[in-house]
Structure 1
Amino acid sequence: MPDTHRIPIDAATGVDATPDVVAVHHEADSDAWLVFCHGLRSDKSGSYERRCRRAVEAGYNAVRFDCRGCGESDGEFAASTLAARLTDLRHVVDYFDPESYALFGSSFGGKAAFHAAADDDRVDAVATRAPVTTNGAFDDYRSAVDRDGTWTFDTGERIDRWFFDALDRYPFDHVVDALDVPVAIFHGGDDAVVDPTDSFDAARRLETDVLLERFAGEGHRFSRAAEERLLDRLFEWLEWAYGPA
């Protein structure tokens, strides 16, 4: 059975003091690790649980976790900026302390995975699905925050200037300059949330080995069949990029 851990974040950023984040470890009998980063308004449940089960079948220790303000973790959603999510991710990885690991991130979690991989020598490969690679993906929200001071989603989550102050500190240029591990990008061809052309532009700019696959007819959320195809391709690629589990 997977083990659930509460991990204190003692170097919190944003408006929270010292939140705990909740992480789930799906154990495998190997030294290979795969850590998952969820999207902006997502959490570690659902597709991440399935992905972790598949990772264990492939021989990887898998970790999924809720960033602060999301799922079962402490804190307010407004405090869950990119800087805070990178802090949370670093604490989660340090808690389990693998010698090396691979990252998988979806959407805003893809942006977190890219920036974490650029700054952590322990990362040997990074895979993403519909990653955010341009800050312009949030221009509509930025305009609302500039005008009203805050933006509230239909489900009640709120972002404010903290979100954009942190976002602007992490341009993709830094990833291009620093990232030197293999990258995989999977993107739905009909994604209306994150423009697929952003992934093609990112792949052209990255100075490392890049696998880029466009899933025709898929939107920002993949169908169950496309998700299974993605996982097949992911673990085939990881065996080459990260090494066999």
Structure 2
Amino acid sequence: MPTEHEIRVEGDRVAAVHHAAVGERWLFFCHGFRSDKTGSYENRCERAVEAGYDAVRFDFRGSGDSDRAFVEATLTSRIDDLRAVIERFDPRSYACVGSSFGAKVAFHAAAGPLDPTAIVARAPVTYNRAFDADRRAVEAEGTLRYDDEHAIDERFFEDVGTYGFDDAAGEIGAPVGIFHGESDESVPIADSFDAAAALETDVLLETYAGEGHRFSEAAERRFLDRAFGWLEDVYGDGRAGVHERD
């Protein structure tokens, strides 16, 4: 039975759900930019448990059930949230699974404070150029409002501008699995090819013909099959992970 948890980060509440399994392998799921921990993340966590992984899904601050307004959230705050969630559960080893901007969080966290055994990235945001149109809108209007709940302003770009993927790529030691739709109109698949070339670790890059930023049900099933098969190869039994303790 999944259990709900509240984790404090700088006095704010981060809402998380733990799907328990038996073993020492853990997966932490990082949702996309305007997403939250519900929907497909519930299914992905259930699939993780079936594969023998403890799975944790959570809302970054500014999203879902966590504190703060979306406009206050940055890449840095999301990295802090991911680190706090992992520290709360204190696994012996773990991997990160990120979708879209959640994958960017996982990449830069792995280049900084975290040490995952592997990273699974679905339709990942890597290079900041994916936000060029949004940046121009903020420069012109001061605030870009996507809908009633989601807006960004210069704070987001001031922060994300301090993170460069090419700089992070050389610091990421964990193997990376990238899964990207060829018809993605939100994050160009060319960015994933560039990211794979920049990474200095083992990389699997799998493309999905006819799929956009959001996968069809068939592509989602294929993604999960391939991602968990790949994780079995690179993660193993959890005793050979990069993050292991003595």
TM-score range, shorter chain: over 0.9
Are residue 204 (structure 1) and residue 185 (structure 2) matched?
no
Change (3 A) 1:121 1:160: closer
Of the structure 1 ranges 148-157 and 133-142, higher mean CA displacement relative to structure 2 is found in: 148-157
Looking at structure 1, the residues matched to 220 and 12 of structure 2 have their Cα atoms a distance apart, in angstroms, of 32
Aligned residues: 238
Are residue 49 (structure 1) and residue 38 (structure 2) matched?
no
Q: Which of 134, 152, 173 is the matching residue for 2:127?
A: 134
Could you tell me which residue of structure 2 aligns to residue 9 of structure 1?
Answer: 9
Q: Which of 112, 124, 134 is the matching residue for 1:119?
A: 112
Could you list the runs of 5+ residues in structure 1 that have no partner in the other structure? 11-17
Looking at structure 1, the residues matched to 52 and 31 of structure 2 have their Cα atoms a distance apart, in angstroms, of 21
Distance apart, 1:174 and its partner CA: 2.4
TM-score (ref. length: structure 2): 0.94
TM-score (ref. length: structure 1): 0.95
Distance apart, 1:122 and its partner CA: 3.3
Could you list the runs of 5+ residues in structure 2 that have no partner in the other structure? 239-246
- Map 1:92-241 to 2 at 5 A: 92-120=85-113, 122-241=115-234
Q: Secondary structure at the match of 1:62?
A: strand
Among all aligned residue pairs of Structure 1 and Structure 2, give the percentage whose two residues are the same amino acid: 57
Which letter maps to 2:39? G
Are residue 30 (structure 1) and residue 23 (structure 2) matched?
yes
Looking at structure 2, the residues matched to 52 and 66 of structure 1 have their Cα atoms a distance apart, in angstroms, of 14
Distance apart, 1:121 and its partner CA: 5.1
Distance apart, 1:155 and its partner CA: 4.2
- Cα displacement string for residues 186-239 of structure 1 (whole angstroms, at most 9, x for unaligned residues): 000110100001101111111110000001110000001110110000110001
Looking at structure 1, the residues matched to 28 and 15 of structure 2 have their Cα atoms a distance apart, in angstroms, of 13
Q: Secondary structure at the match of 1:186?
A: strand
- Cα displacement string for residues 43-83 of structure 1 (whole angstroms, at most 9, x for unaligned residues): 00000000000000000000000001101111100111101
Contact 1:99/1:122 (8 A) holds in 2: no
Looking at structure 1, the residues matched to 215 and 59 of structure 2 have their Cα atoms a distance apart, in angstroms, of 21
Contact 2:28/2:95 (8 A) holds in 1: yes
Contact 2:176/2:203 (8 A) holds in 1: yes
Root-mean-square deviation (CA, aligned residues, Å) is: 1.1
Q: Secondary structure at the match of 1:116?
A: helix
Q: Secondary structure at the match of 1:124?
A: coil
